[in-house]
Amino acid sequence: MRAFAELFLQVDQTNKTNDKIDALAAFLTSAQHEDKLWAVALFCGRRPRRTVSTTLLRQWAAEAAGLPLWLFEDSYHIVGDLAETIALVLPPAKTLQEHSLRYWIDRMRSLEHADDLERKATVLEAWQSLDYSGRFIFNKLITGNWRVGISTKMVAKAIAKAYAIDQNVVLHRLSGQWSPDDLSFDQLILGQQASDDYSKPYPFCLAYPLEEAPCSLGAPTDWYAEYKWDGIRGQIIRRAGELYVWSRGEELVTEKYPEYEVLRTVLPDGTVLDGEIIAWRNEAPLPFAALQTRIGRKNVSKKQLQDTPVIFIAYDLLEYQGRDIRHLPFHQRRHWLEQLVAVAQAPCLLLSPRVPFLHWEALEALRLDAKAIGAEGLMLKKIDSTYKTGRKRGDWWKWKLPPLSVDAVLIYAQQGHGRRANLFTDFTFAVWRGEELVPFTKSYSGLTDEEFREVDAWIRRNTLERFGPVRAVRPELVFEIAFEGIQKSTRHKSGIALRFPRMLRWRKDKKATEANHLKDLLRLLGDECLEAGL
């Protein structure tokens, strides 16, 4: 565990990608075999199943630290990470013991059918025998909240470096479904288990957001434009008589979308499509919220299939006639894709339409129309580009619509997490309904550090009332809140919920009375429903 904790610390302490990769490569050449495999599995997002509820962990931690539960919870709120909070509040370990990462993972997994007493005994034993970083790792594993600044791509780079194998080969071996229980490190990475897993997807090529004017991209004739759809990224694989559907999180989701089953018969063997999984009815996309009702479900009901049918909008072809064609130029892949879709004639398979344009100004106008057809904006792809792995600057750009925004009044504030733990940065905003201010959204991002400090100082001087950690403040400050979407909500007093709300700017020029009214927001809601055909 110590070697792995050390690695974690090194990776966590630097924000330089190359240093992370170096640390990882060094670990992979020196660690025990089974720990290597688990480290790779963890960094690629394969974590052991959760065997203890976080509610119990919180109770045990508070108890072990001799703290009232509310104080533990308040601390957790400020730290923002349960595993870390527990590791921090516990008194120092009594006797340190060293076991492998594998050992602790097995101990954790053995708790699956244990009773709570046994679970508690194991967890307390771990806490009492590990140092701070060991505890932190253990807690991360047991809470199942394993997010670190390492991507599968970085793991692949490290392996490629440590074992002198081509990075793309490694990436392909890491993708798809595998478990550290079924194979060894050598089998997985060094390819001793022949690449006979037909379900394996290719790593996705990702786009960068376009921040500058598109004319910075050069000649319009070098570029291909299509709509950017608001669904989830997916890959459809037809190999060896089977059909596999993968979503961007590299999750096999074939069963969730029975609509696609027909593709098994209409697509030729040796085909891999890249595109968007999206809810669609009456020749138009449904809002993302509709698709969300399908994402969480494994077994889909008849009613859901009727209410929220899902289709696939194909925009790239990665494998054709059993050949990996990612190295061919986009226009060539697109050409074959068009043929395939035309021949397939399946209602669940659409071709992402091309958005033709002659010059950038014309495209700008077309982008603003994207909303009317239910898209988020445009995608720009270089006509002669190959299909890259991960996010590479230059060939693929997403050019989103400007966000929606509203001017709102700050009414409640709470202290933030992490670096901003000592500042009031979690804000609740309200808009007018008649004479009354109705809270409608929270936000804690979008201001500069300087502005956060200024608002913090203002809050401390303008507190009207305190409710535990929350302060009601004088309703005076106005902020412009940007958001990506709006939907009805019965859970909120205002009756609406925003998607990705954030502070766009502090409107020092505006008085509270000049903020927007709830009816302005409801009007936006109307537009969205109208466009989605609801």
Residues at the site binding another protein, with contacts judged by CB under 8 A: 12-16, 19, 65, 67-68, 70-72, 74-75, 78-81, 84-85, 88-89, 149, 415, 417-419, 421-423, 449, 452-453, 460-461, 463, 466, 468-469
- Asked whether 511 and 407 are in contact (CB, 8 A), the reply is no
Which residues, 6+ apart, have CB-to-CB distance to 434 below 8 Å?
A: none
Min CB(392)–another protein separation in Å = 24
Identify residue 507 by its one-letter amino acid code: R
Angstrom distance (rounded) from CA 32 to CA 103: 12
Please identify which of the residues 36, 140, 200, 228 carries the catalytic annotation.
228
Smaller CB separation from another protein, 67 or 262: 67
* Helical H segments across 435-517, by residue range: 449-461
Smaller CB separation from another protein, 393 or 419: 419
Provide long-range contacts, Cβ within 8 A and 24+ apart, for 28-35.
28/158, 28/159, 28/162, 28/163, 29/162, 30/3, 31/3, 31/4, 32/100, 32/102, 33/184, 33/185, 33/186, 34/100, 34/102, 34/180, 34/185, 35/3, 35/4, 35/100, 35/101, 35/102
Min CB(27)–another protein separation in Å = 17
Angstrom distance (rounded) from CA 501 to CA 454: 21
Smaller CB separation from another protein, 137 or 355: 137
Min CB(101)–another protein separation in Å = 19
Min CB(85)–another protein separation in Å = 6
Smaller CB separation from another protein, 66 or 402: 66
DSSP letters, 369-398, are HGGGGT--EEEEEETT----SEE-TTTEEE
Sign of the CA dihedral running 51, 54, 59, 65:
positive
- Asked whether 134 and 9 are in contact (CB, 8 A), the reply is no
Min CB(90)–another protein separation in Å = 9
Q: Any catalytic annotation for residue 228? A: yes
Min CB(95)–another protein separation in Å = 18
Smaller CB separation from another protein, 35 or 84: 84
Smaller CB separation from another protein, 76 or 427: 76
> Using alpha carbons only, what angle is made at residue 147 by residues 144 and 151, rounded to the nearest 5 degrees?
130
Min CB(21)–another protein separation in Å = 15
> For residue 167, what are its two tokens?
């990075």
Calculate the alpha carbon distances from 262 to 59, 244, 346, 349, 507 in Å.
Answer: 50, 12, 7, 10, 54
Smaller CB separation from another protein, 65 or 522: 65
Catalytic positions, written as ranges: 228
